[in-house]
Amino acid sequence: MLETLQNLGLGFQVALAPGVLWYGFIGCLVGTLVGVLPGVGPLAGISLLLPVTYGLDATSALVMLAGIYYGAMYGGSTTSILMRIPGEAASVMTCIDGYAMARKGRAGPALTIAAVGSYVAGTVSVIALMVLAPPLAAFALRFGPPEYFSLLLLGLLVLAYMNSGSMLKGLAMAALGLLLGMIGIDQMSGYFRFAYGVAELGDGIGVVPVAVGLFGLAEILLTAGRPDPPEVIRPRLRDLLPSRQEWREANMPIWRGTAIGFLIGVIPGSAHVISTFVSYAVERKISKHPEEFGRGAVAGVAGPESANNAATSGAFVPMLALGVPGVPVAALLLAAMMVHGVTPGPLLIQQDPRLFWGFIASMYVGNVILLILNLPLVGLFVNLLRVPYPVMYPIILVCSILGVYAVNSSVVDVWIMLGTGVLGYVLRKLDFETAPIVLGLVLAPMMELSLRQALAMSAGHYAIFVTRPISVTLLTVGVVLVALALRPLVSRTLDWRSRLPAES
């Protein structure tokens, strides 16, 4: 414990250095804007801002990009509560009761409860991250290729299981992403696969153009031609404070949301989105007045908002401890680390303690910055929504093209963004989720390499995956998940997704 505190002290020295603090602040500010603006989620935001970090040192870059991530989680609640437009996917549940509170004249308290809940969840979950990541990293040193393969397979299965749509569609999208990840030079044999003479595809398809295409461009294609945005409710500063009764109603949901969010966040998958659904369902289930949900229940705002922020920190656990991205945003952060010459994985804590602990400490600082930013400046952020979308989207489009091009100075990446943008547009029209594609794309090379290395270790015997304890445990969990997903088909019982409340 003493060692952890000493390390945290080192982290605060790094995080409070003026340069790092400044970039952390910029990250939080930009992240909040990203969260406020519908259609620009944290994935697109980080992708767009990635080139800006090229000139920075690794710590400042990572702190800034992480700031964008959790800033977007905070900012997403503003439009959900005031306009019933989720700034990003994790804020969907906040729309229901947040907007209902706003319609009853309680927009200010709803925003305050969301911000305070986010702050508590963010801070508590960083403590949990701090405690959990180092021992997990030490444990991960026991991982060889079979364990990594099983872990990656489990990650994909969890992602598909937790998918808010059907598991089958989630798996199909993950398989599509894995196939896209096969493009490029085969790491073991040197064969140039599916590149059709395009030299730029030698290193494979980059995660940034695919992410910007699937999330940024697809959203613009879907939204740009739609009619005018809905009415914006503007709270006054003096109306921000919740009543004593509202604080009481928010207290326990904030703590429950924090626990649920962090635990779900640690598991690879669409963590923050799922955590909000689960938190909302739990709050409604245990509430003495479930009939109030959908009509402005305080717990319906406090729980999901806390959960999505706790899940954000939770998602960093596998990324920092194992070097395995659990969510697409973590995959982008890993890519950013590699761009800056940092090798993610279990040895990161030992080899680069300043970066690791600086990053952890910056999250504490970031939470304070976000609390300050989100309450007094809420009016300012809401004013951004006055900019009409027909003016906003060309600006976002220029940033998308610029961000994608700047990663490798390659127009091939811009074409890839265009292709995946159209793919994302069509898939969204056909009710498919696109996040598993990005995760599949990132995991594909790791997965193939670890499979072939494991088989090389065992002289071609697949028994290696079931004779090693960690590997077999991970595979067993995967099998259980598949069985759980298949159960409704067999028994015709409905799973938790169908019991979620419909938006009123």
Among 18, 197, 341, 460, binds another protein (CB under 8 A): 460
The answer to whether residues 370 and 75 touch, using CB atoms and an 8 Å cutoff, is no
In the chain, the amino acid numbered 393 is Y
DSSP 7-46: HHHHHHHHHTSHHHHHHHHHHHHHHHHHHHSTT--HHHHH
What residues from 4 to 63 belong to the interface with another protein (CB under 8 A)? 51-52, 54-55
Instruction: Give the range of 77-85, 125-133, 342-350, 429-437 binding another protein by CB under 8 A.
Output: 429-437
Among 23, 69, 356, 432, binds another protein (CB under 8 A): 432
Residue 177 tokens, joined:
């992403």
Q: Is 429 in the site for another protein (CB under 8 A)?
A: yes
Considering the complex, state which of residue 139 and residue 191 has its C-beta at the smaller distance from another protein.
Answer: 191
Residue 199 tokens, joined:
């030299």
3-state secondary structure 275-312: HHHHHHHHHHHHCCCHHHCCCCCCHHHHHHHHHHHHHH
Q: Is 431 in the site for another protein (CB under 8 A)?
A: yes
Indicate the SS3 state at residue 192. Answer: strand
Q: Is 194 in the site for another protein (CB under 8 A)?
A: yes
Instruction: Give the range of 8-16, 326-334, 353-361, 393-401 binding another protein by CB under 8 A.
Output: 393-401
The answer to whether residues 286 and 234 touch, using CB atoms and an 8 Å cutoff, is no
Indicate the SS3 state at residue 185. Answer: strand
Residue 148 CA: distances (Å) to CA of 151, 158, 270? 5, 15, 20
Per the rule left: phi > 0, alpha: psi between -120 and 50, beta: everything else, 86 is beta
Indicate the SS3 state at residue 501. Answer: coil
Among 402, 457, 479, 486, binds another protein (CB under 8 A): 402
Q: Round to whole Å and give the CA distance between 443 and 462.
A: 20
Instruction: Give the range of 85-93, 189-197, 257-265, 315-323 binding another protein by CB under 8 A.
Output: 189-197
Binding mask 271-300 for another protein (x = CB under 8 A): ------------------------------
Q: Is 487 in the site for another protein (CB under 8 A)?
A: no
Number of alpha helices (DSSP H) and beta strands (DSSP E) in the chain: 22, 2
Q: Is 384 in the site for another protein (CB under 8 A)?
A: no
Q: Is 475 in the site for another protein (CB under 8 A)?
A: no
Smallest distance from the beta carbon of 216 to another protein, in angstroms?
A: 11
DSSP 469-485: HHHHHHHHHHHHHHHHH
Smallest distance from the beta carbon of 399 to another protein, in angstroms?
A: 7
Q: Round to whole Å and give the CA distance between 435 and 47.
A: 14
Smallest distance from the beta carbon of 288 to another protein, in angstroms?
A: 37
Instruction: Give the range of 283-291, 303-311, 330-338, 413-421 binding another protein by CB under 8 A.
Output: 413-421
Instruction: Give the range of 12-20, 264-272, 314-322, 459-467 binding another protein by CB under 8 A.
Output: 459-467
Q: Is 494 in the site for another protein (CB under 8 A)?
A: no
Residue 424 tokens, joined:
């994302």
Footprint on this chain of another protein (rule: CB under 8 A): 51-52, 54-55, 168-169, 171-172, 175-176, 178-179, 182, 186, 188-189, 191, 193-194, 217, 220-226, 390-391, 393-395, 397-399, 401-402, 405-406, 409, 411, 414-415, 417-418, 421-422, 425, 427, 429-432, 444, 447-448, 451-452, 455, 459-461
